[in-house]
Amino acid sequence: MPIAMLPLRALVCLFLLVTLASSARAITCYECDSVNNPGCGEQFASDDIATTDCEVVADLRAPGTEPTCLTKYHEGVPGQSRFVRRSCYYGDSSPAGMNCDEQPDPVVPFLTFLGCTLCNTDLCNAAPRGIAVPVSLYAALSTFGLLVLLTN
């Protein structure tokens, strides 16, 4: 391998590490529920939806955690659409621990939990159900890219 390629490779590795480290915790998520704001439902309209800097809240509420964005779905009342909550999530977002807080929602405790999505980019919890990319996919792709660069 030519000596001139080493500084470029080191620069690329440093860029990847800095990018991953800086984006690991700094995340902004939509914060709403479809009962109090109809625009928060399945037909999402971000016009009047509040956002939260999850890192600031995590430092107060759950120090040491890496927040992600959450979209939870609950069965709707007959004749109405599903209940949707969008917020920051401070639990374990790894695939093995992906329980997404299945506790009853305080706004509608009588509705059945259907599922959730987690994502880790700013305002990613606006995506419709099934579109959000799992947090672990970003980590896996970044790690794979770093390994390819280091082995070549």
Amino acid 1: pLDDT:
53
Q: Give the CATH architecture of domain 24-151.
A: Ribbon (2.10)
Amino acid 21: pLDDT:
44
Q: Name, in order, each residue with C-beta under 8 angstroms of 86's C-beta and a sequence gap of 6 or more.
A: 29, 30, 31, 32, 33, 40, 49, 69, 70, 71, 72, 125, 126
pLDDT at 90 over 70: yes
pLDDT at 56 over 90: no
Domain boundaries, the chain: 24-151
Q: What is the pTM of this model?
A: 0.64
Amino acid 71: pLDDT:
92
